[in-house]
Structure 1
Amino acid sequence: MTEKLSDETRGPLLTPLFEAGWSLTDDRDAIAKTFVFDDFIAAFAWMTKVAFWAEKWNHHPEWRNVYKTVHVELITHDVDGLSALDAKLARKMDSLMET
């Protein structure tokens, strides 16, 4: 079962993400980041890659795409906040930007 991040685990898991451009959302215990690509095709290709991992891990992002920009919010709805799955998917999203 997935657990909400404890105070002890938040720092080690979230600090590297904050350094990579992720931020806490204002209205709930979630993290967000906006990814900008060269064009729509690049944005959609990245979203497709992410979708495979999200499905594999059964952890799906909240996201919206407008042309070459994808805004992502990650939260674990089962725990009404952040879990290790959010950090894991955020790291994967960042790594897929590099490929």
Structure 2
Amino acid sequence: MTEKLSEETRKTLLQPLYDMGWSMVDDRDAIAKTFKFADFADAFGWMTRAAIWAEKWGHHPEWDNTYNTVNVVLTTHDVDGLSALDVKLARKMDGLAG
């Protein structure tokens, strides 16, 4: 079962994500990042690769795409906040973005 991140765990797991450009969402226990790509095809290709992992892990992002930009919000609705799944998917998304 997925659990909400504890305050102590947050300090360890979230700082590397902040260093990679993720930030907390105002008024929500969620993290967000904007990814920019060379063009629409690169953005959509990245979304497709990320979607495969999201589906495999059963954890789906809130996101939108406009041309070469993808805005992502991660939170775990089952625990009403951040969980290890959000951290895992954020790391994967960063890795896929290069």
* TM-score for the superposition, normalised by structure 2: 0.99
Taking the TM superposition and a 5 Å limit, the aligned residue runs for 1:44-59 are: 44-59=44-59
1:24 alignment counterpart: 24
2:43 alignment counterpart: 43
* Runs of 4+ displaced beyond 3 Å: none
Please state whether the residue corresponding to 2:35 is helix, strand or coil: strand
**How far is the alpha carbon of 1:27 from its aligned partner?**
1.7
Instruction: Supply the distance in 1 between the matched residues of 2:87 and 2:37 (Cα, whole angstroms).
Output: 22
Instruction: Supply the distance in 1 between the matched residues of 2:49 and 2:11 (Cα, whole angstroms).
Output: 28
Q: Say whether 1:89 aligns with 2:89.
A: yes
The runs of 5 or more residues in structure 2 that have no matched partner are none
Q: Sequence identity of aligned pairs in percent? A: 71
**How far is the alpha carbon of 1:22 from its aligned partner?**
0.1
1:69 alignment counterpart: 69
Instruction: Supply the distance in 2 between the matched residues of 1:49 and 1:11 (Cα, whole angstroms).
Output: 29
The runs of 5 or more residues in structure 1 that have no matched partner are none
Between the two proteins, the alignment pairs up a number of residues equal to 98
* TM-score for the superposition, normalised by structure 1: 0.98
**How far is the alpha carbon of 1:9 from its aligned partner?**
0.3
